[in-house]
Every structure is written in C-alpha cells, then in structure tokens.
Structure 1
Amino acid sequence: MEIRVLNYFLTVAREKTISKAAMALHLSQPTLSKQLKELKEELGVQLFIRGNRKIVITEEGNYLVNRGKEILSLIENTTSNIQSNELIIGEITVGDGETRAFEFISSHFTQLQSKFPEIKINLYSGHADDVLDKIDKGLLDFRLVIDPVEKQKYDYIRLSSVDNWGILVNNENLLATKKIIIPKDISGFPLLLSNQSLVNNQFAEWLGKSIDSVNVIGTYNLLFNASLLVKQNTASAVCIDGIIETKHTNLTFVPFSPSLTSAVNIIWKKNQIFSNASKAFLQLITSH
C-alpha cells in the first residue's frame, strides 16, 4: 500500500464524499475513484459504501483510518527528525500519566526548549496499556509511568518523587471528616477504582483482603471524569493526591494509612533510535 494512496483514502474518509476529496487533493474524480478501487482490491476488503449523499466507512475502513493516521504521523515525525540531522530541532513525543511528577518532564523540556527553541513536544494521555503499545510501536519516545507497571523490557529512570494514594471524597461524605483513611473506614461506601489491574492489586494489598469485599460501583481511566461523579456525591474515588485541585471546590482528598505510595518512572524502548531532539532530552533528564 502506497503512502500516497493511504492519504487519498484518509482524505475521502474526512470529506465524506469522493467529489470533495478530489477537490481537496486536486485530482479528478475518475482518477481518485480508480486509486480507491485498486486499494480495495489490494486489501481485499470493502473500505466504504457509497450512499446517496455521502460515503459510509465500514468497520475495516475505520480500522484503516485509525492506523493510517498513526502511520502518517510516524512518517511525518521521522521525516522531520531525519531532515534536522545537523541541528537540535524536531519533535519529542511523550506519553504522560496523571501524576504531579509530570512537572519533571515539563521543567526539563522548558530548559531544553529555551536552548533549542525549534524543538516541539507532543503529549499523549491515555490508558497505560494503550500508551505502552505506542512505545512498543515507536509512536512515542518516552512514557511517564506510575508503579506498579512491567518495566523489564524497557530502559528507564526512577524519579526521586513518589505519588501518594488516598481517596477523593465529596465534602458532604462522612469520610471527608477524617484526617486519614484506614481500610475499615471505606467499608460500604461506593467507590470508583482505576481500571488498571496492577494498581488494583496494590490497593488490595493495602486493604488486606480482596477488592470484592468493598463496594466498587465503577472504574475510571482518567481521574477528571471520575471527579465529576465525586462532586455529585455518587461515589468516592481511590486516586493519587494532587491530580484534582480541591481548593475552592466541594472535594477533599484524604490520604491512606498506612501510607500507600507509588514510584514514578520515565521509560523508553530498549535500543530505541532517537532523533537529535529526543537524544538531547534523554541526555538532559539522565544528567540530573
């Protein structure tokens, strides 16, 4: 599959009609239709169905749209970084989790960018497994991860800061009156947990019993949306301190006792071939 033809298909998927896509690509409609027909024959699947007014992307077509965007993004970044071989310019791609330790990334990037102002940073936030998959595929240079996480197949540095776990509660909740939360305190209260299994294993160890013994009514990926349910006093969220600003809100964070902490690491793919920009960033963060 040629990159040029992949771009044709993505344009059609975006514009929803062959005519509009042809105009955007500066091609004739017959030429574009011929290219799309050849792509369909090459892949052996139906990528879209022509409707009366617009096309409808098939399931296979949507898969190609998502993968195609990743492919073109990787090519664009690679081309930019190759062309900047003699200069410290280009892009650094970082997957970030919800942690105040991201200040380490931001402060070091600011230092680097002040010295090399043409360096750019692309941030990607998402589920840990999804972000690790992008590291494995070379779509991200670095990833900020919170233990526990499998790090054996990556190179990494552990940051000096740690994240502290506790519970985010509505101020009207009885738990908001406590200075600390011990395992028996949360019995019966509706809870939201992270949907990462390794994190929940750590929480179960703190509880000293199975998670099934507490009232879990749901899970969350990123904490912000979960905090909206906490604001409604629908549930309380087991989470890391400092992610949600509680000042001047109806929310309170109460830490666990005994304390439950997680180390924070920056990881990257072993034997990764970095751009000059990423090399400079790696050199900076490993020198501290």
Structure 2
Amino acid sequence: MEIRLLKYFVAIAEEGTVSKAAEVLHITQPTLSRQLRELETQLDTELFTRDKNRLRLTQAGLFLKSRATEILELSDRTEQEFQSQRRQLFSGHISIGCIEADNSDTMSLMLEEFIADYPEVTFNIYTGTSDEIVDRIDKGLLDLAILLEPINTDKYHKIILPRVERWGLLVSDESFLADSKTIKPDDLTGIPLIISGRSEVQSLLSNWANKPVEAMNVIGNFNLIFNVISLVERQVGSAIGIEGAPTYTSGTKFIPFEPTMKTNCVLAWRKERETSPVVREFIRYFREAFEKC
C-alpha cells in the first residue's frame, strides 16, 4: 500500500468531502476520486458511506484511519531524522572568492540556502579582482570562486552562471553623457577613460571599439572599480565597468554599450585538486541550480 494513497485517504476522512480534500492536496477532484476507488479495490473494502453531503467512515475506514495516521507519522518522523542526520554529517569550512559583480548576490543566495541546510558549516568570503582570486585558488587559499569573464579557466572546472553581466560606461550625473541611453564606440572619442588593468578586459574593450586601447584617451587604470568612484563623481574621468556592481553610488550613472558587450560569471575550482565533502556538496547545489538552465 503506497504512502501516497494513505495520505489521500486521511485527507478525505478529515475534510469530509473529496472536493475539499482535493483542494488541500492541490490535485484535481477526479484524480482523487480515482485514487480512492483504487485504494478500496486494493483492500476489497468500502471505506466511506455517503451521509447527505459528507462522507462518513465505515468501520473498516475507521480502523484504516487509525493505522494510516500512525504510519504517516512514523514516515514523517523517519524522514525528518534522516534529514537531521544528513545535516549533522556535514560540518567544515568553505573559502570562497568573489568578484564585485551583479552575480555577487547569486553566491550570497546559494550560501544562504546551503548554511540553512548545513548550519555547522562556516565560511570565509574573499573579495578581489579575478586575477587576485585566481592566484589565491592556485595557492590553495580558496576552495572555489565566482569569476568574471573574460578569464582563462583552462586549469579549472567551471559552471557558467546564467545571469549575464553587461558592460558600459560609468559617468558622473553631471556629465554631458548622463542623458545618453547607450554608449557607442565613437562616443568614447576624447573622453578621459579609467579602465581595468587586466589585459583580458582591455582586449575585450579593444575588440568592441574596433581600435587599440592605446588609441583611446586612457588616463588611469584600476583593479577594483570602488577605488575610482569618487574620481568619476568629480568628472576626472569615466570608468569602464559592468552593470550592477554593488559599489556604484547615487552620484554616478551606468550607461550600457551599444552594440552590447556582455560576459558571464563562472563558478570555478581547480582541476586535479581533491575537494572536501562540504565543498563538493556546495558545488552540487550550484550544479542543480544552474547546469540545466
């Protein structure tokens, strides 16, 4: 006898009608009626009689309800005990690297869910540039990280996160560009630019603009855009960055590039390096959430 059928039977017995039980169980009334007939056929016994607009348990139905309630309580308690035991089996520490991007909150959401399931696990989050984080992964100081493409991940396993990062220009609210809906390559002509020092990002920008970075009016470089926000506010220069970076302030405005320049973030961890059970479980959470997207 299936647990599912017992749950259906108890719901009907408690609600008194098939229609109300179907609402509680979130299934259709014909489906529930069919399941009840199937149960009565299996037992070769009538479980209910109709009394006006309600169903009343027969003697056999009363006996089954008593046993079914015990069975369902035992089933629920056993499942809860296994879940509790599974959580207790996992304790340990995760060291995570994360760049400043719109996908930063993806890591936070996944970590929140993971810690709720495994409260014995502790964690450390390191924020930096992709290059800094990669160096720490290579040295074994981080277990895994969320990195922003373009970046060479040949040495790493990776899961591509579905939320795309859109690139553009961060300008002051007082800039003459602030009313622009998009920024095109020609719009950068003569504009003092502050750009990432990463060669991969500079190549990405060069391909988009169809000219070398050396031909642009680059007045400075940065590793974390947080360091140049105040310069953008004071119109010392405009910064190349991604939309949704958490450090942008109300005194600045992000304007996307046209044609669109987009890249992905990835969850990455070293190949040929043994990971702990806790880290493997955390990676599994990401796989289940994103690899089928």
TM-score band, normalised by shorter chain: 0.5 to 0.7
* Offset at residue 250 of structure 1 (A): 2.0
* Offset at residue 245 of structure 1 (A): 5.9
Q: Which residue is 1:263 aligned to? A: 264
> CA-to-partner distance for each residue in 1:134-181, whole Å, 9 max, x for gaps?
111211111111111111111111111110000000011111121110
- Does structure 1 conserve the Cα–Cα contact (< 8 Å) formed by 2:233 and 2:251? yes
In structure 1, the gaps of 5 or more residues are 1-85
2:226 to 224, 228, 238: 224
- Does structure 2 conserve the Cα–Cα contact (< 8 Å) formed by 1:206 and 1:260? yes
In structure 2, the gaps of 5 or more residues are 1-87
Q: State, as a whole percentage, how many aligned pairs show the same letter.
A: 33
Q: Which residue is 2:74 aligned to? A: none
Q: Which residue is 2:177 aligned to? A: 175
Q: SS at the partner of 1:280?
A: helix
TM-score by length of 2: 0.66
Q: SS at the partner of 2:101?
A: coil
- Alpha-carbon separation, structure 1, partners of 2:92 and 2:282: 11
Q: Give the paired residue count.
A: 202
Q: Which residue is 2:97 aligned to? A: 95
* Offset at residue 111 of structure 1 (A): 0.8
* Offset at residue 130 of structure 1 (A): 2.3
Largest Rg, 1 or 2: 2
- Does structure 2 conserve the Cα–Cα contact (< 8 Å) formed by 1:170 and 1:252? yes
CA RMSD of aligned residues (A): 1.4
Structure 1 102/246 Cα, relative in aligned 2: closer, same or farther at 3 Å?
closer
Q: Which residue is 1:118 aligned to? A: 120
- Does structure 2 conserve the Cα–Cα contact (< 8 Å) formed by 1:94 and 1:143? yes
1:130 to 122, 129, 132: 132
* Offset at residue 272 of structure 1 (A): 2.3
Q: SS at the partner of 2:147?
A: strand
- Does structure 2 conserve the Cα–Cα contact (< 8 Å) formed by 1:171 and 1:250? yes
- Does structure 2 conserve the Cα–Cα contact (< 8 Å) formed by 1:170 and 1:176? yes
Letter in 2 for 1:241: E
> CA-to-partner distance for each residue in 1:52-101, whole Å, 9 max, x for gaps?
xxxxxxxxxxxxxxxxxxxxxxxxxxxxxxxxxx8311111111111111
Q: SS at the partner of 1:139?
A: coil
- Alpha-carbon separation, structure 2, partners of 1:225 and 1:137: 26
> CA-to-partner distance for each residue in 1:83-123, whole Å, 9 max, x for gaps?
xxx83111111111111112221111111100111211211
1:275 maps to 2:276: yes
